[in-house]
């Protein structure tokens, strides 16, 4: 990770503010059910209209603060992640220009193209989602469990069983899905190689009337990538389904 941090030095503000805004957003969302319970238990039960208006106004204010924090988090997480991969792509391209002949023989152009395009885009999505969800998820879990136990202590046993079961299911799904994503990168590399070969040798292909062969070759690489992408996406969908459940 130290190799990546040096590319983020110009975006320290974004990487600092994005998690702080997540904390503000989570706090505002978690407090809402508590305030609602106060309105029901105290305001409605005692028919205290001023109290209901006061707590309701506080809920509205916290909602607006949560919206502002969420928008700010989206802005800074996007700025930080895009800035990081921009610098990384620039550094990677500069490094490629310094390659020795041995490096050029080891890394072909299709592989380098994949690294400079798809790989850094994947890293951008990882960093962006980490700044948005990596802190939000654990905080929501901790605060939700604390509030649930405070409101209904009997839920403790259900939570104690549900969390390990869901965590185990997600662990096995991710363990099964990661190899698919690794294979997907290899398939994408092959597809880029086929496209590059066709573009470079397009005159030769036309001269020898090899369009049909090249179309079949591309279709094989394309369908292979599609099949492995569907398998990987299915694992992600199952993981999201488990999380929502």
pLDDT per position as a tens digit, 115-159: 888 888 888 888 888 888 888 878 888 877 887 777 777 777 787
Question: What is the per-residue pLDDT for 240?
Answer: 61
Round to whole Å and give the CA distance between 112 and 119: 10
Q: Which of 54-68, 102-116, 164-178, 213-227 has the highest mean pLDDT?
A: 54-68
Whole-Å CA distances, 242 to 33, 57, 103, 136, 178: 24, 36, 44, 18, 17
What pLDDT score was predicted for residue 239? Answer: 66
pLDDT in tens, 8-19: 888 889 999 999
How far apart CA 96 and CA 93 sit, in angstroms, is 5
Identify the H or E element spanning 208.
Answer: none
Q: Examine the pLDDT at 245 and tell me if it is beyond 60.
A: no
Give percent above pLDDT 70 in the chain.
96
With cut-offs at 50, 70 and 90, classify the pLDDT of residue 171.
Answer: confident
Nearest to 183 by CA among 124, 219, 236, 227: 227
C-alpha pair distances (Å), 243 with each of 54, 149, 166:
35, 20, 7
Q: Is the pLDDT of residue 65 over 90?
A: yes
**Pick from 194, 195, 188, 192: nearest CA to 225:** 188
Contact 186, 227 (CB under 8 A): no
State yes or no: pLDDT of 105 exceeds 90.
no
How many helices (DSSP H) and strands (DSSP E) are in the chain?
10, 0
Asked whether the whole model's pTM tops 0.75, one would answer no
pLDDT of residue 218: 86
Residues 201 and 47: their CA atoms lie apart, in Å, by 82
Range list of β-strands (E), the chain: none
Residue 20: what pLDDT?
92
Q: Which helix (H) or strand (E) holds 130?
A: none
DSSP assigned state of 153: T
Contacts of 125 (CB under 8 A, 6+ apart): 81
């Amino acid at each position: 990770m130290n190799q990546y941090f040096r590319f983020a030095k110009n975006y320290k503000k974004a990487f600092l503010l994005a998690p702080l805004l997540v904390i503000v957003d989570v706090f505002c969302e978690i407090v809402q059910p508590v305030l609602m319970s106060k309105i029901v238990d105290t305001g409605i039960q005692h028919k205290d209209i001023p109290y209901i208006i006061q707590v309701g106004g506080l809920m509205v204010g916290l909602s607006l603060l949560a919206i502002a924090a969420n928008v700010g988090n989206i802005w800074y997480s996007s700025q930080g992640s895009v800035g990081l991969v921009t610098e990384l792509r620039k550094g990677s391209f500069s490094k490629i220009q310094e390659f020795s002949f041995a490096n050029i023989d080891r890394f072909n152009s299709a592989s380098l193209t994949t690294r400079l395009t798809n790989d850094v885009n994947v890293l951008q999505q990882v960093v962006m989602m980490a700044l948005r969800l990596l802190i939000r998820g654990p905080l929501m879990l901790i605060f939700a469990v604390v509030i649930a136990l405070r409101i209904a202590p009997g839920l403790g046993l259900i939570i104690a069983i549900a969390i390990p079961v869901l965590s185990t299911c997600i662990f096995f799904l991710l363990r099964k899905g990661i190899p698919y994503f690794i294979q997907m990168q290899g398939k994408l590399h092959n597809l880029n190689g086929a496209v590059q070969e066709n573009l470079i040798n397009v005159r030769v292909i036309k001269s020898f009337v090899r369009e049909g062969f090249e179309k079949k070759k591309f279709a094989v690489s394309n369908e292979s990538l599609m099949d492995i992408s569907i398998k990987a996406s299915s694992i992600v969908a199952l993981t999201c389904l488990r999380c929502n459940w």
